[in-house]
Structure 1
Amino acid sequence: MKIFDAIKTEDVETLQAMIAVNPNCLNVTDARGFTPLIMATYMGAMGITKVLLAQNIDINAKDGSGNTALMGVCFKGTREYADILILAGANLDDTNMNGTTALAFSATYNKMDMVKYLLDKGANKLIKDKEGNTALDHAKSKGYDTIIAMLDG
């Protein structure tokens, strides 16, 4: 069994055994460039995520598009995962290949609770992507009035 199979099936015991035999298995990526942590958070596998965070992993590692695990959970609006990632040291203001931040993803996909949460945690709302747009600009382009009000203050 490969590490990504253990993650997809949420097989914590197998994952722990794999790590014990070969700790370097935590450094592999799949075809999309997903790390084990990115895959676990994307799949919503909390038990696996906690096991991975207990290891010496790069919490800010990026996939093939430059996205981090935090960006993925913000895109999905999964606050519980964002909380444990931030507590473990995830960079709030990291950008992907397009210059998009976790806050911009949250604003673009109308994740109001996540926008508020990230702002409360200190996310920088002034970061511009490669097109010159901030999270506020993305919210305005979609007409998300509540998020616009949060970001325009």
Structure 2
Amino acid sequence: MLRAATRGDADAAALAVRAGAPVDVRDARRRTPLLLAVIDDRLEVADLLARLGADPDAVDVQQDTPWLVTGVTGSVAMGQLLLPLDPDVTLRNRYGGVSIIPASERGHVAYVRWALQHTAVDVDHVNDLGWTALLEAVVLGEGTERWQRIVAILLEQGADRSIPDRDGVTALAHARARGYDEIAALLAR
């Protein structure tokens, strides 16, 4: 079952289930077939597992869940597939972040827009590092158009631009320090 999920082989996964394999079987790192399918964006297998009742909130040893990993991969299609399973969008990854934080850091524009429009994820959630999605987009982003768009989306969705990091530095101050003039202009409005 685990190999079938990793390979994206829905037929083999279906055969494994028919042969009695548990839908939420775990590997040595406590990853379920659904989590493995999400990691590799194997939509067909994930769809099968979702229909069979796989747990979108199953946590592995790294504190990843299928839902949280959609923020890392930026897969809107996978997020749409998992959303009817009612994933807990408040679960936090090993850094204490929710799905839009890694998505903002990595420049996943479509995912950030979609997740904020279709879930109750907290746009101002502060992770264990003291950063919000807005701060991560500025501090860990590249300042290019992708991150400019993410900053604009976060602001449109009500992100609080005044929340500073642990050192008291705001996203605007970080943008100015990095020479991200377009992002600084968005944040200064």
**Shorter-chain TM band:** 0.7 to 0.9
Aligned to 2:130: 99
Q: Which of 76, 88, 96 matches 1:66?
A: 96
> Any stretches of 5+ residues in structure 2 without a counterpart?
3-32
By how many angstroms is 1:20 displaced?
A: 4.2
Q: Of residues 48, 57, 63 in structure 2, which corresponds to 1:27?
A: 57
Amino acid at match of 1:89: A
Unmatched tracts of structure 1, length 5 or more:
none
Mark the CA change 1:91 to 1:133 in structure 2 (over 3 Å): closer, same or farther: same
Aligned match of 2:77? 47
C-alpha deviations, 1:5-56, integer Å up to 9, x for none? 2213333343233344444x22222332222112123223332211111221
**What do you get for the CA RMSD once the two structures are aligned?**
1.8
For residue 172 of structure 2, what is the aligned residue in structure 1? Answer: 136
Separation (CA, whole Å) in 2 of partners of 1:144 and 1:29:
37
Q: Does 1:90 align with 2:126?
A: no
- Other structure's SS at 2:129 match: coil
Letter in 2 for 1:145: D
| Counterpart Cα distance in 2 of 1:100 and 1:44 | 19
Which of 1 and 2 has higher RCO (CA within 8 Å, sep 6+)?
Answer: 1
Residues in 1 aligned to 2:114 and 2:136: alpha-carbon distance in whole angstroms: 18
Which has the larger displacement, 34-43 or 56-65? 34-43
Q: Which whole-Å deviations, capped at 9, do the CAs of 1:96-151 have from their partners, x for residues lacking one?
A: 00220111111222211111121122110001222211111221221212212221
- Secondary structure of the residue that 1:38 maps to in structure 2? helix
Aligned residues: 152
Larger Rg: 2
